[in-house]
Amino acid sequence: MPREKAHDLKSPRFAGDPALEACYDNKRLLRVGDSGPAVVKIQQALIDAGFPLPRFGADGDFGAETKAAVQNYQRAHGLAVDGIIGPTTMGSLDAQFASTPPASFKKALFRDTFCPVNNASNASSANFSLSEFRCHDGTDVPEKFRGNVQQVMDNLEVLRTVLGNKSITINSGYRTPAYNQSIRGAPQSRHMCGQAADIRVSDHTPTQVADAIETLITSGRMRQGGLGRYSSFVHYDVRGTIARW
C-alpha cells in the first residue's frame, strides 16, 4: 500500500537506502533482474529471517533463487506471493528488523588500517572519473587512497583497450569500513583501500572479462591481484599478490 511519508524505514539495515525507501514509498519495485547494494540488503535480511539462499547467497543479483526466497517469506507472513519487493513486503521486512541491526553491526567496525596509503588529490583517466568510485553510501574516496584508485583506473584502461574499447561500468568501487560491514563484505576487502572495482563490460560476459584479465595479468600488462568471478560482474583488485575466487 502507498506510504504518504518518504524515507520512513526504521530498521538500521534498511533506513536511508534510496532504493529500499522508494520500494517502501511505492515508487519502485525490486524484482528479478535488479542488482546492487539494495538487493544485497534484502538477501541478507531473508537469510537472517530463516529463508536461505544456499546457492548464491547475498551476491547482489536478484535472480530465481532470491525470488523463491521472497515468495517463501511472503507466504510465511500472509502476504501476496509475487516474489517482488514492493511496499507491503518491504514494510514487513522493516518491521521484523526494526530493532535488530544486521549481525555485522553488532561487531566492532571493520578497519582500513591494513590498507596501503597512496595520497593523491585526485584520480582520473581517459575513461574513468573519481566519482565513479564513490562509496554507495555517498562518501568520496579519501585522499589517502586516491593513488590506489588511480592504479585501478590505469589497469582498467588496459582492459578496456583489449576488449575493443567497450564501456566498463564500476558496480562497486571504494567502500567505507562501515558500509563494507553493513553489506557483509570481507573483513579485509580491498574495496576499503580504494584498490578494487566490481565491473561489468558492455557486450562481454563476466567469464570473458575475467579470462581477459587473467591473460593480461599473465602477460604482465595488468597488475597481479584479486580476481573474483561472479554471475553478473567481475571483481578485480591491485593488491599485488595473487588471489582467486
What is the pTM assigned to this prediction? 0.60
Kindly report, residue by residue over 42-101, the tens digit of the pLDDT: 988 888 788 887 777 778 899 999 999 999 999 989 999 999 999 999 999 999 888 655
Between 154 and 100, whose confidence is greater?
A: 154
How many C-beta atoms surround the C-beta of residue 61 within 10 A?
A: 20
In a domain, 134, yes or no: yes
Residues 135 and 237 in one domain: yes
Radius of gyration of the chain (CA): 19
Residues 95 and 135 in one domain: no
The SS3 call for residue 189 is: coil
The SS3 call for residue 112 is: coil
Residues 164 and 62 in one domain: no
Beta bridge partners of 228: 235
Q: Which helix (H) or strand (E) holds 63?
A: none
Calculated CA dihedral for residues 79, 85, 88, 89, nearest 10 degrees: 50
Which ranges constitute the DSSP H helices of 25-116? 37-48, 64-76, 87-96
pLDDT on residue 162: 98
In a domain, 114, yes or no: no
Query: How many helices and strands in the chain, by DSSP H and E?
Result: 7, 5
Cβ-in-10-Å burial (0-12, 13-18, 19+) of 228 comes to middle
Residues 70 and 134 in one domain: no
pLDDT on residue 99: 67
Residues 141 and 231 in one domain: yes
Beta bridge partners of 244: 227
Residue ranges making up the domain that contains 37: 18-105
In a domain, 8, yes or no: no
Of the CA atoms within 13 Å of residue 99, those in its CB half-sphere come to 0
Residues 156 and 226 in one domain: yes
Mean pLDDT along residues 153-159: 98
Q: Of 223, 218, 203, nearest to 158 (Cα)? A: 223
In a domain, 111, yes or no: no
Q: Give the model's confidence band at 238: pLDDT under 50 very low, under 70 low, under 90 confident, else very high.
A: very high
pLDDT on residue 106: 44
Number of domains the chain is built from: 2
**Domain end point (choices 49, 72, 105):** 105
CA dist 182 and 90 (Å) reads 18
pLDDT on residue 110: 67
In a domain, 120, yes or no: no
Q: Which helix (H) or strand (E) holds 9?
A: none
Residues 147 and 92 in one domain: no
Residues 231 and 134 in one domain: yes
Average model confidence (pLDDT) for the chain? 90
Residue 189: partners with Cβ closer than 8 Å, 6 or more residues away: 110, 175, 180, 196
**Domain end point (choices 105, 120, 145):** 105
Kindly report, residue by residue over 112-141, the tens digit of the pLDDT: 889 999 999 999 999 999 999 999 888 999
> What CATH number is given to the structural domain containing 93?
1.10.101.10
CA dist 98 and 117 (Å) reads 38
pLDDT on residue 57: 76
Residues 40 and 77 in one domain: yes
How many C-beta atoms surround the C-beta of residue 140 within 10 A?
A: 12
Is the pLDDT confidence value at 33 over 80? yes
In a domain, 115, yes or no: no
CA dist 15 and 30 (Å) reads 16
Residues 139 and 59 in one domain: no
Residues 146 and 222 in one domain: yes
In a domain, 3, yes or no: no
In a domain, 181, yes or no: yes
Residues 90 and 177 in one domain: no
Give, in order, the Cα–Cα distances in Å from 162 to each of 159, 166, 245.
Answer: 5, 9, 23
> What CATH number is given to the structural domain containing 163?
3.30.1380.10
Lowest mean pLDDT segment, chosen from 6-10, 27-31, 79-83, 230-234: 6-10
CA dist 58 and 52 (Å) reads 10
